[in-house]
Amino acid sequence: MIQHSINYLAFGVFIQAFILFIEVLIFFKRPLGLKIVILILAIALAWRGLGVLYFYHYHYTRWAIEMPTSLLAGAIISFFALIYENKLKWPIILIGVVVFFIQFAYQIYYTLIVPVDVKIPLSSIEGAGTIIKILKVGFVLLASTIIIRTMIKIFKKYDSGNIYFLQLRKWTFYLLVFLMLNMICFVLNQLSKNPYQNIYFLILLIMNFFSLILLLLRPKFLNNSDLKIKLSSSFKIKEESEISIEAFISIFFTQLYFLKKEATFEDLKSKLNASSDQLNKMIYDHYQMSFTDLINKNRIKYFIDLVHSGDYTNYTIEALAKKSGFNSRFHLYKSFKKFHGGTPSDFIRSVAK
């Protein structure tokens, strides 16, 4: 009974991972680094699904069971580092890459150079076992640290009035829960005298299945986001002859400057320590529109997200307009027609249906 469930789950994980890969490939526009990492996650999970099917229909093989786990480990810590880390982002990603390639090198060595039966786990091979075990312990410690840091950040540093961060916080919480359960399952399996039992694969595949659902249901603003999701409270502007796009993004998007009533060209120019020509040129080069249009377009996007969230159904259009940064209902209607088409009232009714 359990074996049949495992086979169905493994196939389901493979199909879901394939769907995620295609969906991300088509619809996820930027940031490119995050897109690549999610694609690698999809590949690793699809590989795992096929690996488990091979294991139950034929036999254990290192390439089918251990390699997708190693690839998945590196992709997971890189995923959280890209979204939630700032200073430690690249060192964490580098660790993930190094861990994967060390295991990959061992696989090649004990498959082609000094052949050892592929049915024997790397951790059981003399000469490789100790290093592999150290890498596993190191990954568990690193992943645990990332989980704790991320938990602290999303519940202490996220702006409760920022709808984007609110969506990201809820989604991240569930993702972290499944990641922790995955890790607990992994650790218990490694401590077991008889690893890779049915119950291990059953729990692992269930966690993978729901993790894939969460990745498919990720906040849609991540698909084409100018937001640099940084939780660090400090921010320094580089003294350069030209405006740093990172500085602009941090103030304008991450800090939701476009929602502020005092959002003016002169005020933003002052915050960026830039000239009028520099700011105008930077905005046009990157967004092909004026400062005013950029402000209003992002306010409309925020208004649309407020309506879609379903948390503001009792708000009047006037209240939603002000929450989106507009001074009045009139300015909301004018900008909505320009950047979306139709009227806010019609849009709200269509979403409510």
pLDDT of residue 157: 58
pLDDT of residue 126: 85
pLDDT of residue 14: 97
Scored b (16 or more CB within 10 A) or e, 17-53 reads beebbeebeeebeebeebbebbbbbbbbbbbbbbbbb
Sign for the pseudo-dihedral over CA of 277, 282, 283, 284: positive
* Closest to 172 measured CA to CA, from 221, 130, 216, 214: 214
Q: Using alpha carbons, list the distances in angstroms from residue 195 to 53, 121, 130.
A: 17, 10, 17
Q: Give the whole-angstrom CA distance, residue 214 versus residue 172.
A: 9
237 in any annotated domain = no
CATH number (domain holding residue 126)? 1.20.1070
pLDDT of residue 224: 66
Domain co-membership, 202 together with 299: no
CATH number (domain holding residue 346)? 1.10.10.60
Mean pLDDT of the chain: 85
- pLDDT (tens digit, 9 = 90+) per residue, 261-279? 889 999 999 888 888 888 8
Domain co-membership, 208 together with 253: no
The tokens of 237 are what? 């502007």
pLDDT of residue 235: 33
Domain co-membership, 260 together with 313: yes
Q: Using alpha carbons, list the distances in angstroms from residue 138 to 87, 89, 133, 177.
A: 20, 17, 9, 20
Q: Give the whole-angstrom CA distance, residue 237 versus residue 244.
A: 8
235 in any annotated domain = no
Domain co-membership, 214 together with 263: no
The tokens of 141 are what? 């410690």
Domain co-membership, 155 together with 291: no
9 in any annotated domain = yes
Look at the chain and report how many structural domains it folds into.
2
Q: Using alpha carbons, list the distances in angstroms from residue 316 to 142, 152, 333, 347.
A: 47, 34, 13, 13
Output DSSP code: residue 30. Answer: B
pLDDT above 60 (res 158)? no
Domain co-membership, 160 together with 275: no
pLDDT above 80 (res 295)? yes
Domain co-membership, 30 together with 169: yes
- pLDDT (tens digit, 9 = 90+) per residue, 45-54? 999 999 999 9
* Closest to 276 measured CA to CA, from 261, 264, 293, 294: 264
Neighbouring C-alpha atoms within 13 Å toward the C-beta of 6: 21
Domain co-membership, 12 together with 123: yes
- pTM equals 0.69
Mean pLDDT of 57-75: 92
Domain that holds residue 312: 245-352
In contact, 153 and 84? CB cutoff 8 Å: yes
Q: Give the whole-angstrom CA distance, residue 163 versus residue 143.
A: 27
Mean pLDDT of 87-106: 88
- pLDDT (tens digit, 9 = 90+) per residue, 209-249? 999 999 999 887 777 655 444 444 433 334 344 678 888 88
236 in any annotated domain = no
